[in-house]
Chains A and B, each alone.
Chain A
Amino acid sequence: MHNHSPEPAPSDRRRPGDRQRSRDRRYPGEREYSREREYSREREYSREREYSREREYSREREYSRDHPWYALDHAGFIYPALLSDRVSAYYRFQATLDAEVAVELMQQALDALRKRFPYFQVELRKGFFWYFFERNDAPNRVVQDSKFPMQKLSTKKRGAYLYRVRVFGDRVALEMCHILTDGYGALIFFRSLLAEYYRLQGIETAYGEGVFDPREAPSAAEWEDAFSRYATPGAPRPRRAEPAWHIPGLPLPLHTMRVTTGCLSLAAALAKAKSYGATLTVYLSATFLAALQDVQDADPRSQGRRGRRPIRLQVPANLRGFFPSTTLRNFSLFALPDIDPRLGRYEFGEIVSRVKSMMSLAFDPKELGRTITRNVMMAKHPLVRPIPLLLKNFFMRRVYKSHGENLYTSLSTNVGQAKLPESFAAKVRRIDVVLPSTPGLKTVAGMLSHGDALSITFGSVVERRDLERAFFTRLVKDGLRVKVESNLSAVSGKEQDNALL
């Protein structure tokens, strides 16, 4: 990473409106691939003609292509305001390989891959009005894994990366900050990292299909803030739901979290979902809602209609399926299927059909346009932009509470299939996605499958495990075989010590 051209002199720096000059500059880390670069620039020009609408609203892409700094996208900009010891905004992909990870090779693979993903080689910096990313040339070392993943992160520290690769035994993990990218982008990075790692061991993998060639030049479309492109000014705001019920529970000590993973057969789970006439995501989300209903039923404070509140689940989806884009930055939104227990207890079949309908209503490009537009327009509002960052952070925390966490009980994301290339798929036994929870949501879940292994991982910051238990026992009662493991084996803590049962 030391082959960067020198920094341009201040007078040479491009101003926001100076578009012509920007085309002649390129990202400094990639000058050796000039020919490929030429082709990709040709492509860029034709692309750029398509993007006429985006230009009206956004200059971020212009910055990001060739500047040593670029702006956060319209989903990522909320996270820096929320960061604290208890809210990390990270998530993690972890692969269990069939042999001990060779750390040196993993480091070499990471070093080779880094310049293919220049948009991840950044540090988070504070501007006067907004946070921004600045290019980071520091080495990124593969680090040792810990009992409690995704803790003590130095996201805002100078020179610190917003992702890290961790190794323990036969397990390699990529911890990625949501400010940088969503699960789609992180999974491409992780897949490419594994491909490069196995290439160094002599197992060749064909590029393409979500595996990037480290020698290739990054395309400009990967930098894109796709939210700005698909915002339609004038679209009505999304309807705001009423506050949801939240899981009770005493917190675990600071800098700890419980990870509980359940493994089951993908084929069996798919067959079970099919028997309900649902997709796997709908089936698992419905099971999650049913488990939440069980927990609420058992909660003494939620007895009677007055004490109850709607149980709502956040189910994120990749927007690239609805709006064409190849961006590797955030581009996902969510549906909020819910049940209202004040209307009576829901049977599982009812929940499935409800979730199915609610998700197909929510994942409609026009409906999604409301939220995209709201998010983009809020950030571009002429009265919002000049608010100093300090005040903005305060308001963003409030907005996140009132328009975010407060509206849903928990979060369950189905990343889908890991789609590892054939060449090394058999060498990876399992892949999990781990989500750290927040004090508001307490317990959240992530699902990911590889081959026939479907892994459902709960991340929790509270002592009680009744939600995990309710979820997995529901699957077991449905006839599925589930194998469970956790990073915290012994059950102890204030809540357990005082428990009557």
Chain B
Amino acid sequence: MPYCSRCGVEVDEGVGDCPLCAAPIQSLGEAAPRRESGPYPQHIIDPEDAYRLSKAERRRIGIELLTLAAALASGALLLVDMLTASSPGWSRYAVASVALGWIVSVAPLALSRKPKAALAVIGAAVVAFLLAIDGMDGSLGWAVRIGVPVALAAYAAIASTGVAVASRKVKGLNIVGIGALGLAAFLIALEAILRLGLGLGVRPYWSVVAALALVPVAVLLFYLHGRVLRGANLRKIFRL
């Protein structure tokens, strides 16, 4: 049986180094096929890895906990309100906010495979929330005139910017330029909605100033992207 000439201990056939002192084991005669350390497997598999919760299980637990927290918070708010009044008053607003928070946090978990559907649900929930808050006193006012149009304008700006960004093959400084243009468009729409909603006339003012600042920046960025940096992408410029 081969042995280590430094330690004097025997080792299994085919073991290259002494397990105690790492000295190479001399083999006399036919060299036995070199063997990895004998009786223990070389892979590392721990049963613990199989016990770990899957992503779906973790999402389900997350939904459960968020729902429980939202229900408890709403219940507590309503009860506190009812201590002093016979019918829910201020707590309705608080409960509506909790409900919005619940939808916004649960939708991405519940619709994790369908991000577009999750975004649509969140968008609809925000509009519904604005209408609900406004309508709690019995009549709809600011939500219809300002709140919902601003939300829709924001969605439109984000969606069109997103589409424009997605259509670009090389994503460099031009992306920042597109963002700036999107922001300028949204600001103009915002001021228009505010002026129309508040009855101040249609002539825009501050949004034009903002657009005047943003559009040249965007143009400069497009120029830099196309001519100076030759279509380098953002990842390269900022080494992300």
Interface flags for B19-56 (1: CB within 8 Å of A; 0: not) read 11110000000000000111111111111111100000
Q: Are B11 and A469 in contact, with the CB atoms below 8 A?
A: no
A483-B12, A484-B20, A486-B19 as given contacts; A147 in contact with B41, CB under 8 Å: yes
A477-B8, A484-B10 as given contacts; A469 in contact with B44, CB under 8 Å: no
> Using Cβ atoms and an 8 Å threshold, which residues of chain A touch B36?
489
Q: Are B47 and A143 in contact, with the CB atoms below 8 A?
A: yes
Q: Of the candidates B9, B19, B42, which one forms a contact with A476 in the assembled complex, judged by CB atoms under 8 Å apart? A: B9
> Using Cβ atoms and an 8 Å threshold, which residues of chain B touch A487?
37, 39-40
Q: Are A476 and B8 in contact, with the CB atoms below 8 A?
A: yes
Interface flags for A233-261 (1: CB within 8 Å of B; 0: not) read 00000000000000000000001000110
Q: Are B40 and A154 in contact, with the CB atoms below 8 A?
A: no
Q: Are A473 and B46 in contact, with the CB atoms below 8 A?
A: no
Q: How many residues of A are counted as interface, with CB atoms below 8 angstroms from the partner's CB atoms?
A: 43
The answer to whether the Cβ of B15 comes within 8 Å of any Cβ in the partner chain is: yes
The answer to whether the Cβ of B179 comes within 8 Å of any Cβ in the partner chain is: no
Q: Are A489 and B15 in contact, with the CB atoms below 8 A?
A: yes
Q: Are A482 and B39 in contact, with the CB atoms below 8 A?
A: no
> Using Cβ atoms and an 8 Å threshold, which residues of chain A touch B15?
485, 489
Q: Of the candidates B7, B40, B41, which one forms a contact with A473 in the assembled complex, judged by CB atoms under 8 Å apart? A: B7
A485 to B189, CA, bound (A): 77
Q: Are B20 and A472 in contact, with the CB atoms below 8 A?
A: yes
A157-B51, A472-B20, A489-B19 as given contacts; A482 in contact with B9, CB under 8 Å: yes
The answer to whether the Cβ of A468 comes within 8 Å of any Cβ in the partner chain is: yes
Q: Which residue of A lies closest to B12 (CB)?
A: A485
Q: Are B10 and A160 in contact, with the CB atoms below 8 A?
A: no
The answer to whether the Cβ of B191 comes within 8 Å of any Cβ in the partner chain is: no
A144 to B40, CA, bound (A): 11
Q: Of the candidates A145, A146, A151, A484, which one forms a contact with B19 in the assembled complex, judged by CB atoms under 8 Å apart? A: A484
A145-B41, A259-B40 as given contacts; A152 in contact with B46, CB under 8 Å: yes
Q: Are A469 and B17 in contact, with the CB atoms below 8 A?
A: no
Most A CB contacts (10 A, CB to CB) among B12, B22, B44, B46 go to: B46
Q: Of the candidates B9, B44, B46, B51, which one forms a contact with A484 in the assembled complex, judged by CB atoms under 8 Å apart? A: B9
> Using Cβ atoms and an 8 Å threshold, which residues of chain A touch B16?
489
A152 to B8, CA, bound (A): 35
The answer to whether the Cβ of B1 comes within 8 Å of any Cβ in the partner chain is: yes
The answer to whether the Cβ of A269 comes within 8 Å of any Cβ in the partner chain is: no
Q: Are B48 and A154 in contact, with the CB atoms below 8 A?
A: yes
**In whole Å, how far is B18's beta carbon from the nearest beta carbon of chain A?**
8
A482 to B11, CA, bound (A): 8
Q: Are A164 and B47 in contact, with the CB atoms below 8 A?
A: yes
A468-B20, A484-B10, A490-B17 as given contacts; A147 in contact with B48, CB under 8 Å: no
> Using Cβ atoms and an 8 Å threshold, which residues of chain A touch B10?
481-484
Q: Are B9 and A473 in contact, with the CB atoms below 8 A?
A: yes
**In whole Å, how far is B68's beta carbon from the nearest beta carbon of chain A?**
18
A108 to B8, CA, bound (A): 43
The answer to whether the Cβ of A450 comes within 8 Å of any Cβ in the partner chain is: no
Q: How many A-B residue pairs have CB under 8 A?
A: 106
**In whole Å, how far is A303's beta carbon from the nearest beta carbon of chain B?**
23
Q: Are B40 and A145 in contact, with the CB atoms below 8 A?
A: yes
**In whole Å, how far is A261's beta carbon from the nearest beta carbon of chain B?**
8
A472-B7, A476-B8 as given contacts; A485 in contact with B19, CB under 8 Å: yes
A157 to B48, CA, bound (A): 10
The answer to whether the Cβ of A78 comes within 8 Å of any Cβ in the partner chain is: no
> Using Cβ atoms and an 8 Å threshold, which residues of chain B touch A488?
19, 37
A144 to B43, CA, bound (A): 10
A406 to B176, CA, bound (A): 62
> Using Cβ atoms and an 8 Å threshold, which residues of chain A touch B46?
146, 151-152, 255
The answer to whether the Cβ of A262 comes within 8 Å of any Cβ in the partner chain is: yes
Q: Of the candidates B21, B42, B45, which one forms a contact with A469 in the assembled complex, judged by CB atoms under 8 Å apart? A: B21
A396 to B50, CA, bound (A): 31
**In whole Å, how far is A226's beta carbon from the nearest beta carbon of chain B?**
31
A171 to B38, CA, bound (A): 11
Most B CB contacts (10 A, CB to CB) among A148, A171, A469, A481 go to: A469
**In whole Å, how far is B190's beta carbon from the nearest beta carbon of chain A?**
52
A481 to B38, CA, bound (A): 19
Q: Are A486 and B37 in contact, with the CB atoms below 8 A?
A: yes
**In whole Å, how far is A262's beta carbon from the nearest beta carbon of chain B?**
7
Q: Are B12 and A465 in contact, with the CB atoms below 8 A?
A: no
Residues 193-227 (chain B) with a chain A CB within 8 angstroms: none
> Using Cβ atoms and an 8 Å threshold, which residues of chain B touch A476?
7-9
The answer to whether the Cβ of A153 comes within 8 Å of any Cβ in the partner chain is: yes
A496 to B21, CA, bound (A): 11
The answer to whether the Cβ of A491 comes within 8 Å of any Cβ in the partner chain is: yes
> Using Cβ atoms and an 8 Å threshold, which residues of chain A touch B9?
262, 472-473, 476, 482-484
The answer to whether the Cβ of A302 comes within 8 Å of any Cβ in the partner chain is: no
A344 to B43, CA, bound (A): 46
Q: Of the candidates A144, A146, A154, A485, which one forms a contact with B51 in the assembled complex, judged by CB atoms under 8 Å apart? A: A154
What are the 5 closest A-B residue pairs judged by CB atoms, nearest first? Answer: A491-B22, A486-B19, A152-B48, A487-B40, A476-B8
Complex A-B: 8 CB contacts under 8 Å: A145-B41, A146-B41, A152-B49, A154-B48, A477-B8, A481-B10, A483-B1, A488-B19
A interface residues (Cβ-Cβ under 8 A, vs B)? 96, 141, 143-149, 151-154, 157, 160, 164, 166, 168-169, 171, 255, 259-260, 262, 465, 468-469, 472-473, 476-477, 481-491, 496
11 further A-B contacts with Cβ under 8 Å, apart from A146-B41, A160-B51, are A144-B45, A154-B48, A169-B39, A255-B46, A259-B40, A482-B8, A482-B10, A483-B10, A485-B15, A486-B37, A488-B37
